[in-house]
Each structure stands twice: as C-alpha cells, then as structure tokens.
Structure 1
C-alpha cells in the first residue's frame, strides 16, 4: 500500500511539473512578439472576443472583401435578427463543444479527451449584432489585404463537401442564433482554440505572441 501511495505521489508530482512547464511556456511565448504590419486607420473593423476561456473572431457579415451570407445559410440561424451585422467564428474540439453546452456540463473525461484525444474539430458560428464597446472584445482595423488573409484563414478552417460548401451539423447549436460546422484540423494542447485565433491574427499580419494557447495570451494583444 505504501508503494502505491509513493507511486501516486510521483505521478501527481510529474503532472504538476508538466502543467507548470506548460503554463510557463504559454505565458512566456505569448509575450514573444511576432511583429506584424503597423495598425491602419482605414479598413475593415474586426473584433476578437473572449468568454474568459475561449476566443472568437467577430467579423462583418458583409464587406467588400467577403459576404459571409453566401456561405452561411440564413436558415441555419432561424432566430437571428434581421439587422444581424456580424458573425462570430470559434474553432475547437468537437466533443468538448457539443457536450459542454453549459459550464456545469463540464466533465473530466471531456476535458481529457479534448487535451489528448486529438479528435475531430468544429467551427462554432453565431449570427449577432456588432459587439462594439463590449468589455469582452478588442477591436482591430485591418487593411483590405490583411482582412482578405484573415478571411482566407477562417474559410480554410471549414471542412467542405465535394462542391465546396461548408458542412453544417443540423440541430447542434446552443440556440436559434448559432450553429456548429465541421472543421479541419485536430485539437491538442499545442493547437488549442486560442492558438487558432493567434494563428489567424498572424496570418493577417497583426502583431501577436509567438504561441497563444490560452485566452489571455490572445487578448493582451488586442485590447
């Protein structure tokens, strides 16, 4: 029994060391600047928003660069207001997203599966009104070329059918204004939902940290 106790203590110590190293690396590398283009005064306004754990892009529904209504069917968002101005896009682990609709639904098994399972991913899309002024969001002005690069990045994260259309998961939304779509890529402790956001910012030429697996590592650059 004593040997079992010692073994459990060693495992707990090892886990603590790994978690501590991960947190340290996430903190340090999120502060290592990957310099982008100088901020512009004219262009497309986008938002990066957080719920305290996860970050999303919030992009205009229609702009000169991209009309998202040509890819996202209005019928997918039956409760959306007619004055919807933006869509939010968040990428992540499919099981975690679909099985954790409220924080009280969170289960250890779901967390472990998301971290180590490398399972399929989804894109979560909300139809909404502009979040301008929200304390949960940071606003950025992107030049047209920057925004086009970000749009290409987000579009490339959707899994598509043979005709190039996005692949919705009917009935998967939390309510009538959101829906999940099949996505490409695998979730891992390295490629997290927040690192997906960080990669998008880097693709658009926005100054951001070298690795941003945690939401704070993203939001410190956009607020």
Structure 2
C-alpha cells in the first residue's frame, strides 16, 4: 500500500487562501445500473470501478493483468509518489504545480477486502454516470504520440501500476480534488472545492445515508 503521510502545515496554511466556490451536483433521476467504490487511505482517496464497466480504451492500462475484477484509480504528485523522497522539501514542492501521476491498483478481490470495509463507501451509479466516469478516466490517462497510455512502471505494491496523468498536481488540486471531479462526472453530488479526504468521505457517506 502507498505509505500514509499527513499533509504538511504549509498545505493547511495554503488552504486559507483558497477562494470559496461550489460545484453544482448533477441530478440522478435514472435508476442505477452499477456501482463504484470510493476508498479512503488516510489523506488519500481512490475511485474504483468494476472491470466489466471499463471500455476497451480504458482496459489498455490493464494489459498483462487479465482476470481482474476491480480497477482503482488515484491521482497524485508524480515526483512525490515516484521518487520515494519524503523530506520536508519534497512535501513543500508538492504544493507547487507539477506533473501528475495516476496510480492504478488492479484487484481480483473487492476494494473492501483489499483496503478494509470501514475505508470503503459504495455508491450506485446510473448508465449516464458510468459513461461519463469512463470518459473522465480515459481523459485522465496521459497518452504518447501513437495514442498509447504513458506507462511509468510498477507501483509501490503488487497490482499497482503508475501512468502519466493529464492533470497537474498542486496545492489547490490534490488527489482528493481529482476524486471529487471524478465523482461529479459519475453524478454523485459533491460540493467543492475539496482538498482533503475527509471532505470527500463525509459527503459521500451523507449521500448513502439519505439515499432512498
């Protein structure tokens, strides 16, 4: 698993300068056809979809890992996650705009079994929502001149793979901001801006508690 690290004090200070704003959540009137899982890993969040809900374009990131049941996507700072450096300067540099990375976790078991059921929230998604989420995930994967996903090698644990991300990481666009964008595409009502995992998890737990 990715080592858990709390954001430095400088990140908390930076939040104080964030301009207030809210995103209008998409209404979900259609019946659900599938579900997604949101995983909390201390300060970080992942979005997991069933492999059967991925399209051919998205499945290109799973070559060599056939037989999976879930694909979990997380966004982060490329230098921080891939360098292995965890000093204060590396943490502070993550507040500045820099290249992003996607960490794909390929699972045969459920996200709840892999990460602990208390760390996972399952959300129903309708047909339009899963289609928009697929499109968002495909847009998030950086591709080369021939259109192939930009692979950056193995992740920090078995079943983990790094890919280049089209989004850039910064103090005001974190892994959790990216997760919030993904959930909005899926039709989940997430108000923003969101920087921390708690802001994601609190809102989606409210969604599951108020669902009919």
TM range (shorter): 0.7 to 0.9
Query: Residue 213 of structure 1 aligns with which residue?
Result: 195
Q: What is the deviation of 1:87?
A: 0.8
Change (3 A) 1:71 1:17: closer
User: What's the secondary structure of 1:222's corresponding residue?
Assistant: helix
Which of the pair has more CA radius of gyration? 1
Q: What is the deviation of 1:203?
A: 2.1
Q: Structure 1, residues 105-163: CA drift from partner, whole Å, max 9, x if none?
A: 621111111112x2211110011122247110111111111111111111101110122
**Moved >4 Å (runs of 4+):** 23-26
Higher strand share: 2
Unaligned runs of 5+ in 1: 1-15
Question: Which whole-Å CA distance do the structure 1 matches of 2:155 and 2:26 have between them?
Answer: 35
Question: Which whole-Å CA distance do the structure 2 matches of 1:50 and 1:212 have between them?
Answer: 14
Residues 48 and 57, structure 1, Cα contact 8 Å, conserved in 2: yes
Q: What is the deviation of 1:73?
A: 3.6
**What is the TM-score normalised by the length of structure 2?**
0.79
Query: Residue 63 of structure 2 aligns with which residue?
Result: 74
Query: Residue 122 of structure 1 aligns with which residue?
Result: 101
Query: Residue 22 of structure 1 aligns with which residue?
Result: 15
1:99 aligns with 2:79: no
Question: Which whole-Å CA distance do the structure 1 matches of 2:175 and 2:187 have between them?
Answer: 19
**What is the TM-score normalised by the length of structure 1?**
0.76
Question: Which whole-Å CA distance do the structure 1 matches of 2:143 and 2:23 have between them?
Answer: 34
State the Cα RMSD in Å: 2.7
1:53 aligns with 2:35: no
